[in-house]
Structure 1
Amino acid sequence: MLAHTIYQHDTSKEWVTFVHGAGGSSTIWFKQIREFRKHFNVLMLDLRGHGRSKNNLKLMFENRYTFKSVSKDVLDVLDHLNIEKSHFVGVSLGTIIIRQIAEDYPERITSMVMGGAVMKMNFRGQVLMKVGNIFKNVFPYLFLYKIFAFAIMPKNAHKESRNMFINEAKKLYQKEFLKWFKLTSDVNPLLKWFRQVEINIPTFYIMGEEDYMFLPTIQKLVKEHNQSAQLYVVENSGHVVNVDQPQIFNEKVIEFIKKNL
């Protein structure tokens, strides 16, 4: 089972589950814990191979990861804690995991918050994935990860987010990185399906205005056909919006969740 931490509220019955991205850990939510636990029960977890889940032998011996298996890891924690339904808050690749849960187990989700949502790889992203796939067994994984981190979070204002993900990625094993890299390199068909299929779950996209790789797709998606979703664009923020602008992130997300109790 995934390593996890809970913060229980004295009166609230609502749960908020936080899902980090690839190369991160639950520590990326440190600017959210204090505010969210004032209002809700909070569940923080580390995905397989990340953070305190790094040495989970059962998960480590799987040769290939899928978004279905990774999302089932999350639900196993909810089942263990007898949490029937939760609001989910994700960032980056964590938003794909939440969307997979919505696809397979929509009854388990009260609402979805998608920070730095990944719903399509732009041309630059696809080129990076292809180049990385060619050289993944040649260069040390941390070298490749740094390239991706700088491509996604290029500005000086993104330095804290970028360094946080690079420092967390240093804790991954080489084999673990390759499993996650393979998972993300095969993601385009899944994302295409997600963009085409609407779901009847309240959804809040919160994106940085400088998230050039992923923001345009979300703007188009919300504008064209997603009636159950809304988008808020945060100024002076990049991909990891909860770290770049935590005060605005916390305020807007808590407001959204309270509207969907």
Structure 2
Amino acid sequence: MLNFKKTSLHYEAYINSEKKDWIVFFHGFGGNYSIFNRQIEYFKPDYNLLFIDLPGHGKSPDLTNNENILDYTSRKVVELLDRLHINQVHLIGVSLGTIVIQDLAMKFPKRIKSMVLSGAVGRWLWWGETLGKIVLSFPIRNMLPYMVPFVSFAHILMPKRNHKKSRDFFIKEALKLGQNSYLRWLYIVKDAHQIYSKLKQQVNKIPKLYISGDEDHMFLQGIVKHARKEESAELTILEKCGHVCNIEQSSQFNLISRDFVTKYSAV
């Protein structure tokens, strides 16, 4: 396992063999790479693994300048791949991580072999989008501690009893996030649907698998529409599962993800 701290993005790398393909994992809003604990042992025997904490999350420092945080993240991810001498990768992301993956797909398509987008974030239902606009309005965003709306959003996105483990994880980890990172990333999540419009404007034939839970009420409807319109996309919907499939239905998620990645891996 490699863990180099002298980088702007904290990461952990598990190296199996130089001959094995690499999978890079991206966590969700407020979390860190430990959300993939159920995936590490499963994927380690067959792949090299790279887990990255997004800016302001986990042990990665927050962005201190005014650069767009999504542009910054994609650039730093590719710089990290270059530093580790990794040419092409498979990408697996959850929630916010799926936005980062799609941004990478637009800017660096030749570096990507396949993409797995779990709990993908697209257009919010109208009332979720309205709530986001209220939270980001000038008086509210400066008056409320960020954990107040974050906890509310967590309960809205993951309301059921079987979502509790995922919900509790993100609330606990978000305590480390900070107001600045919270607001920067919330703007990205609020406008996530725009990335799909941009993707349509370019030919993007990277193999893509959407994995969503049938109880992911905020985003499922929109993601189903996107998946049907994308030539290179597949969609799997897991039963009795909410927004964070890799925790709630980890066994199914692991099997489906590995089967998909294997189809596009080196022989």
Question: Same fold, TM exceeding 0.5?
Answer: yes
Displacement after TM superposition at 1:66 (Å)? 3.5
TM-score (norm 1): 0.93
Counting matched residue pairs gives 256
Residue in structure 2 matched with residue 86 of structure 1 by the alignment: 89
Map of 1:245 onto structure 2: 249
Counting aligned pairs with the same residue, the percent is 38
Q: Is the 8 A contact 2:31 2:170 kept in 1?
A: yes
Alignment of 1:24-39 (within 5 A): 24-39=31-46
Return the offset for 1:67.
Answer: 1.9
- How far apart in 1 are the matches of 2:202 and 2:241? 29
Give the CA deviation at 1:176: 2.1
* Corresponding residue of 1:164: 169
Corresponding residue for residue 107 of structure 1: 110
| Other-structure match for 2:5 | none
Matched, 1:7 2:14: yes
**Structure-2 residue corresponding to 1:202:** 207
Q: CA RMSD in A?
A: 1.6
Q: CA deviation at 1:181?
A: 2.2
- Separation (CA, whole Å) in 1 of partners of 2:197 and 2:18: 41
Q: Which residues of 2 match residues 148-227 of structure 1 at below 5 A?
A: 148-194=153-199, 199-223=204-228, 225-227=229-231
- In structure 2, C-alpha distance between the alignment counterparts of 1:107 and 1:28, rounded to whole Å: 27
List alignment gaps of at least 5 residues for structure 1.
none
Distance (whole Å) between structure 2 residues aligned to residue 176 and residue 113 of structure 1: 25
Say whether 1:117 aligns with 2:120.
Answer: yes
Match of 2:3 in 1: none
4+ runs deviating over 6 angstroms: none
Contact 2:99–2:192 under 8 Å retained in 1: no
Task: Report the alpha carbon displacement of residue 64 of structure 1 after superposing the two structures with TM.
Answer: 4.8
With 167-176 and 157-166 compared, the bigger mean Cα shift is at 167-176
Could you tell me the TM-score, scaled by structure 2's length?
0.91
**Displacement after TM superposition at 1:192 (Å):** 3.1
1:76 paired to 2:79: yes
1:259 counterpart residue number: 263
CA distance in 2, matches of 1:181, 1:214: 16
Gap regions ≥5 residues in structure 2 = 1-7
**3-state SS of 1:71 partner:** helix
Alpha-carbon distance, 1:188 to partner? 4.2
